[in-house]
Amino acid sequence: MGRAKKVVLAYSGGVDTSVCIPYLKHEWGVEEVITLAADLGQGDELELVREKALKSGASESLVADVKDSFVQDYAFRAIQANTLYENRYPLGTALARPLIAKILVETAQKYGADAIAHGCTGKGNDQVRFDVSCAALNPHLMILAPAREWGMSREKTIAYGEQFGIPAPVKKSSPYSIDKNLLGRSIEAGVLEDPAAEPPEEIYEMTKAIANTPDEPEYIEIGFHQGIPTTLNGIDKKPVELIEQLNQLAGNHGIGRIDMIENRLVGIKSREIYESPAMLVLIQAHRDLESLTLTADVTHYKRGIEETYSQIVYNGLWYSPLKVALDAFIQKTQERVSGIVRLKFFKGNANVVGRWSNNSLYSTDLATYGAEDQFDHKAAEGFIYVWGLPTRIWSQQTRG
Ligand code: ARG
């Protein structure tokens, strides 16, 4: 691999990505570092982040507001696929990575850079997601990951940065590693590294403790059009606004906390706490509407696809041909998934309590136990005889 001269670095404003700037220039001979910070709704002061990159030695510092695309092209696809990694994690961090990779590659192409860089270490999933996504989008770009190679402890990293005017963190830095965006927060490290230790209340920001949630339930209605959430309590919402408001509404009732031991792609088990109120509620509501509007065989078959799709997202294969092929399947299934789902929020629980759709496959005439029943009960007998025939024959053979 040749030496990179001009590099586009994924930048967050934290110590590690800041130290990447002088490190790339002084240790790896990079001539120009262009930083790129993505606004994914993490709520950081991105103008300060932009200036910090310049102070740390970047030749150009860019901020890209990609919130709309994040929700429409990533989060909403995940909702249509009901993606929950290991049945629980709604993939807030994982979904952001392919989008960041996309803008890194676009920026590298625009500025004529020969490499992209990120500040991931060698232990996590994010390095895989960045590297594989960038390679998929432009296999000619080099990918540099200084923090994967420098082998500096936190103290050494801070000391290295100070030589180049990168200030040490002002506050006594938090013991937690936190990744956050519109879709939620991922929290690890500190006391959480002990899987037996209860997460301290201080780690949560988006969700209230049950002791502080309202004593009255709240009903909310989510409207979907072809598997995409479009309304909240009957009012049309733009995608970002819908996620923000639902985070607020559900978080206020303590909904959206997950405490799990998860299996990383690199083979490590890690303990992660998530807060993801809107995503969890939307997936729950969406799945419910599917059960009203999809046939039994499509619903059942899709469950397997969803499991694979979750693994694809988690394992950094967003731009893989398998993902694209599964998208075609999922999009086809969503054509009739339109309607309204009513949920009740109370004391940490979101329960679906009603659903409506013009495409409903539910037939009261068939389901009822009342006099209007249209189901042909006698037809059941012949059906059961044929359905059970292989089992009956097997039994006759083996039991004699
Ligand atoms: N475990 C999650 C994932 O792989 C989140 C990773 C980032 N977490 C963090 N606390 N910094 O998607």
Question: What value does the mean pLDDT take over residues 353-374?
Answer: 93
Tokens in use for 177? Answer: 């590693």
Question: What value does the mean pLDDT take over residues 87-105?
Answer: 98
Please work out whether the CB of residue 272 comes within 6 Å of at least one atom of ligand 1: yes
Q: Taking the model in full, what pTM does it have?
A: 0.95
Please work out whether the CB of residue 288 comes within 6 Å of at least one atom of ligand 1: no
Query: What is the spatial order of strands in the sheet that 257-263 belongs to?
Result: 177-181, 184-188, 269-275, 257-263
Please work out whether the CB of residue 298 comes within 6 Å of at least one atom of ligand 1: no
For 157, the 3-state DSSP assignment is: helix
Atom number, ligand 1, closest to the C-alpha of residue 124? 4
| Domain positions in the chain | 6-67+83-162, 177-356, 364-399
Residue 362 above 70 pLDDT? yes
The pLDDT score that the predictor gives to residue 154 is 86
> Pairing relation of β-strands 115-117 and 142-144?
parallel
CB 285 within 8 A of CB 222: yes
What is the whole-number distance in angstroms between the Cα of residue 119 and the centre of ligand 1?
A: 14
**Which residue is it, tokens 């049309």?**
236
Residue 400 above 80 pLDDT? no
**Amino acid, res. 120:** C
The pLDDT score that the predictor gives to residue 103 is 98
Atom number, ligand 1, closest to the C-alpha of residue 125? 4
Please work out whether the CB of residue 93 comes within 6 Å of at least one atom of ligand 1: yes
Share in percent of the chain as helix, strand, coil (round to 5): 45, 20, 35
What is the whole-number distance in angstroms between the Cα of residue 268 and the centre of ligand 1?
A: 12
CA distance 32 to 48: 21
Per-residue pLDDT tens digits for 162-209: 999 998 876 666 889 999 999 999 999 999 999 999 999 999 999 999
Please work out whether the CB of residue 177 comes within 6 Å of at least one atom of ligand 1: yes
CA distance 79 to 225: 12
**Amino acid, res. 91:** L
What is the whole-number distance in angstroms between the Cα of residue 91 and the centre of ligand 1?
A: 9
Per-residue pLDDT tens digits for 11-68: 999 999 999 999 999 999 999 999 999 999 999 899 999 999 999 999 999 999 999 9
pLDDT band for position 2 (50/70/90)? Answer: low
Q: Tell me the fold of 6-67+83-162.
A: Rossmann fold (3.40.50)
The pLDDT score that the predictor gives to residue 170 is 67
Atom number, ligand 1, closest to the C-alpha of residue 314? 12
Residue 351 above 60 pLDDT? yes
- Decide if domain 177-356 falls under CATH 3.90.1260.10: yes
Please work out whether the CB of residue 179 comes within 6 Å of at least one atom of ligand 1: yes
- Decide if domain 364-399 falls under CATH 1.20.5: yes
Give the DSSP letter of residue 291. H
